[in-house]
Amino acid sequence: MASTMDSNMLGLGGGNETDRLALLAIKAQIHQDPNRPVMSSWNESTHFCMWHGVTCSRRHLQRVIKLNLTSLKLSGSIYPHVGNLSFLRELSLYNNSLTNKIPPEIGHLLRLRILRLENNSLSGPIPANISNCFNLIILDVSHNMLGGNIPPELGSLSKLEYLSFLFNNLTGEIPPSLGNLSSLGSLDAYSNNLVGSIPSSLGQLKKLTHFSLESNKLSGTIPPSIYNISSLVGFIIGINQIQGSMPPTLFRTLLNLKYFCISDNQFTGSLPLSISNATNLVVFYVEDNKLTGQVPNLQKLCTLVTFHIAGNHLGSGSDGDLSFFSDLTNATQLVWLIIASNNFGGTLPTSISNLSTLTILEVESNQLHGSIPAGIGNLVNMKSLALSGNMFTSNIPTDIGKLSGLGGLHFQNNGLSGSLPFSLGNLTSLVYLEMQGNNFNGTIPTSLGECHSLLVFDLSRNNLSGHIPPQVIGVPSLSISLNLSENRLSGSLPLELGKLKSLGELDLSNNMISGKLPSSLGSCLSLEILHLEGNFFDGSIPSAMVSLRGIRDLDLSRNNLSGEIPEFLAGFRDLEKLNLSFNDFWGAVSIKGVFNNASATSVVGNTRLCGGISDLHLPKCKSKESTSRSMKLTILLVSAFTLLGIAMLLTFLFLCFSKKKCKVTSSSTFADSILQVSYNTLLKATDGFSATNLIGAGSFGSVYKGVLGEDGAQLVAVKVFDMLRRGASKSFLAECEALRNIRHRNLVPIITACSSVDFRGNDFKALVYEFMENGSLEEWLHPTTGTEDAPMNLSLVQRLDIAIDVACALDYLHNHCETPIVHCDLKPSNVLLDNDLTGHVADFGLARFLSRLANNVSANQSSDIGIRGTVGYAAPEYGMGSEVSTYGDVYSFGILLLEMFTGKRPTDHMFVDGLNLHKFVKRAFPERVSEIADSSLVQVGKPSQSTNDALEECLSSILGIGVACSVEFPIDRENIGDAVAELKRIRATLVG
């Protein structure tokens, strides 16, 4: 009996059988990689002490003391029977794919010293009874999906030296009881969801060398007791919400500190002067806090490898802020120097050239100025150089080409100038080249074609000129972005563009590139964003672009493209934004795909398009039969009109020549001094017809804001005609003819005209008007949503005044000119408002003289040009071939009046099935006019009944005039002179 007892105590009896059964139960719950059956040894043919990963004790025979199944690609769960291995000292199951919970039975392992379960997929809480394993030295459950709180009971593990919870989902506060772990050397709870403040009890951990609580949700301040742990080597609490300041004496206590990271918190105050005592410091990382003041002396930090103070408020914005760069020359191992997004001023010290070990230098988003030091080429180990968002000027030093290992060059948004150095081509490791938003001129160096690792290439918003080098645009590595927009690049698009098969974004907008779109563009199969707007491309959209099926944003607007819009664009499922406006496309517009969304598609300024959904406001397409019949007539008319246009041009030139001969020198007023302006004058006045000065665009050209005179004496609006558009020349002549001899306070004042050639020898024609400060009536009636400005709104009296202004202008044109003039395109966008909101009728590009029509057009023919206004505003008789008349202008005025006081466009989507704006108002007239009136006119608080009655009577009278002017039959429409008199009477009554 005694012998049996002794054998059991030695583990030769039932104890070892217990271990064997426990191991078999564990095996049953674990699945191994079939390609690596490492647990195949766990079978009855060998003793369990010989199984893979199992170690038995020599003292206690056949009792398992170590189970190590690390990095075996095991899955399944940890079976609770592991708690029966009562002699177990080490349980290491890390680097596998184990799931489910940590079994509480582990708390039965009283001899356990090492518990390593990291890098699995374990979930659930940390069992509190692990605290029963009072011999634990290492507890590592990092890189799992554990949740719940940190058990306070763990504070009883007095022998624990290493505790790691990093990369889990732990919540709650840090238990103060962890301050009882008197043997603890490393505490790591990085990347959890811990909240609350750091317990001051942790300051009792006098053996602590590594302290990491980064990436949690901790708040409050750091207890002073933590700063007194002199044994600390690593102090990392970044990415929390901790506040307060660092004590001035911080680094007098933490003399052993090598790693200091408090990034992404809310620390205030200045950097401690005692930092000079931290002579062992390797990493100093205080990014994204609220620190202020200057950087203290760093001369003694000889071991520094990383100095990262970005995203604070350091510096004074004045010279000398970067004097500490000279201190860092003693840091012979410095690799990262990052001071971005601060308030540093002054120049970049020449001592920077002595920091030859640097691989990353980031000084962007400060207030640095001056030139880039020539010695920058000494930084031969540089991988990323970021100077963007400062005020650097002058040229890029040519020795920058010595940085052959440079991967990122970020110089954007400075004032750098001169030409791009050819030596940039030596940077063959470049991945990011960003120089946008500077003043670089000259051409793009062909040597950049040698940079075969480029992913991002951005030279936009500069003054670069010349052709796009084929060597550059054909760099096949470009896969993220190629942006050369807003320069002065010319020539055609190289065929080498087709080599960019992996490119995601291509932006060449707002240059002077011409020619046809190359078919090779269809080889850029990965394109998602393609912007070519604001150039001189002509011809049709190549059919090869059918392969760009991943395109999301396509902008070809403001070019000279023509032909039919390809049907394949409607089949692009990912296409979210399509802009084809202001080209010369013709034919039917699809109603499928992106074309079925008016907010995602723009085709304005293409006067020969038809069809599409109603929200695009295009005319209906004619049938093929009627089209073929009209072709012959069109050919005859074009021939006749060409001869007529030549005759008109000769007449105009003759009149201009006669005027020049008879010209008498006038007084030296500003207007007289600029009656004759050149192309160069207008180019300078509009800053090169800059897109920032563009204030509008129409069928035949664009309007730019400009300043004329040496002292900027007068703001003007310059209407530049696109001479490549059919009808533009006739429109210019028509507008000149109409405005030559008419003057009225309600017509937009014209200053002069320019008929010349541009710098490329192309015809250039422009009209110069006085600038109207308050834009167009269209902008006031239908303001663009989403702007930061206060909403634009016109009161009832202001609208009435503008309506009277427009009516007076028409009355003058129809009844008080030597030859009656018909405007032919009256609409809100052609009514401009000056500083006093006085209305001025503009755009006489379609205007007609009635006497000429009477002599040259028979009663049953169209007028001399087929366009007679804008859909919704043009008189209905024009659509049936009737000739131009003053009745047509009266109809347009009536619609304009109804729009001004109802707030509804005549093309509103509600007007279908025969309903139009005229009928809509007429149905509500006169009893329900307040219901259809613009809400801003009737929502005036709580007025009295008498005020309501007066308002309704006023609206009823105004809308009645609009209805009378817009009746269907011309002869039944109200005379414009009578309309002026009635509107003035209503105004007199309204204002008393």
Pairing mode of beta strands 97-99, 123-124? unpaired
Distance of CA 752 to the CA centre of its chain: 40
The two three-digit tokens of residue 238, written as one number:
């970044």
β-bridge partners, 76: 30, 98
Question: Cβ(570)–Cβ(546) under 8 Å?
Answer: no
- Please indicate whether residue 801 is annotated as part of the active site: no
Backbone angles phi, psi at 212, to 5 degrees: -130, 115
DSSP 317-386: SSTTTTTHHHHGGG-TT--EEE--SS--EEE--GGGGG-TT-SEEE--SSEEEEPPPGGGGG-TT-SEEE
Question: Cβ(476)–Cβ(500) under 8 Å?
Answer: yes
Task: Quote the DSSP letter at residue 747.
Answer: B
Helix axes 917-924 and 886-902, enclosed angle (nearest 10)? 60
CA distance 135 to 131: 9
The two three-digit tokens of residue 494, written as one number:
């190289």
Question: Cβ(402)–Cβ(428) under 8 Å?
Answer: no
Q: Please, what's the b/e burial string for 272-305 (b: 16 or more CB within 10 A of its CB; e: otherwise)?
A: bebbbbbebbbbbbbbbbebbeebbebebbebbb
Nearest to 821, CA basis, from 857, 802, 846:
846
- In degrees, rounded to 5, the angle at the alpha carbon of residue 362 between the alpha carbons of residues 508 and 438 is 35
How many C-beta atoms surround the C-beta of residue 860 within 10 A?
Answer: 8
923, with CB counted inside 10 A (0-12, 13-18, 19+), is exposed
Report the phi/psi class of residue 86: left, alpha or beta, with left for phi > 0 and alpha for psi in -120 to 50: alpha
Nearest to 561, CA basis, from 696, 732, 724:
724
Task: Quote the DSSP letter at residue 712.
Answer: -
CA distance 774 to 776: 7
Question: Cβ(511)–Cβ(484) under 8 Å?
Answer: yes
- In degrees, rounded to 5, the angle at the alpha carbon of residue 206 between the alpha carbons of residues 201 and 208 is 95
Contacts with 740 (C-beta within 8 Å, 6 or more apart), sequence order = 655
2, with CB counted inside 10 A (0-12, 13-18, 19+), is exposed
How many C-beta atoms surround the C-beta of residue 570 within 10 A?
Answer: 18
Please tell me which residue in 507, 825, 864, 934 is annotated as part of the active site. Answer: 825
Question: Cβ(154)–Cβ(141) under 8 Å?
Answer: no
CA distance 872 to 911: 10
What residue type is assigned to position 832 of the chain? L
10, with CB counted inside 10 A (0-12, 13-18, 19+), is middle
Question: Cβ(540)–Cβ(569) under 8 Å?
Answer: no
Pairing mode of beta strands 145-146, 345-347? unpaired
CA distance 959 to 983: 10
Helices marked H in 384-500: 470-473
CA distance 893 to 523: 52
CA distance 349 to 322: 7
Q: Which residues are catalytic?
A: 825
